[in-house]
Amino acid sequence: MNAQADSTQNTQHGSSSNAVNFMRTLQQIEDSKNPAAMIALYTEESTLWKPALQQPREGLEGASTFWQEYLTPFARIHSSFNNVIENSEGDIVLEWVGEGELEGGSPIRYTGVSLVRMVEGKVKYFRTYYDSAAFLMGKSVNDGQPTEVNPALASEVASGQTEE
């Protein structure tokens, strides 16, 4: 077993760790629709990124913007975690499923992976990668099956004519 494997563990939800704290905080803000508890995990040196951003969000203001943007499209959302890996250096890998309902009433189910680096209980960086196609049509993507695309919206996306 190599040194990396020795310092890496699958985190159990009952333990006290940075990963558990982050997951619980995420679920708390999903329930309350208020990102304040999550923002409290960040500092002015923190960075946040997702594929839709050309530049990372930075600092407390960036964290506030990022997490408010995350919550905005959902009438309700709940993240559950399939696999959680955390090492002694503060690196966390979260494999998750988000399930809920968009503001317009459409159900949504999407999957993703988030990478987090925590230092002294604060997020140094947060990177998240997820199936953004689920948001294009507000339908779930089921176990690797092709996504059903709204043809009119797909045409707008392809031509770059959607509103931000």
Q: What is the CATH number of the domain that holds 48?
A: 3.10.450.50
pLDDT of res. 27: 98
Is residue 80 in a domain? Answer: yes
pLDDT attached to residue 136: 76
Q: What pLDDT is attached to residue 86?
A: 96
pLDDT at 30: 98
pTM: 0.75
Q: Is residue 164 part of a domain?
A: no
Give pLDDT tens digits for 90-113: 999 999 999 999 998 999 999 999
Q: What is the per-residue pLDDT for 137?
A: 60
Q: How many residues does the chain have?
A: 164
Residue ranges of the chain whose pLDDT lies below 50: 1-9, 11-15, 138, 140-141, 143-164
Tell whether 68 is covered by a domain.
yes
Structural domain including 152 reads 3-159
Domain contains 146: yes
Number of domains in the chain: 1
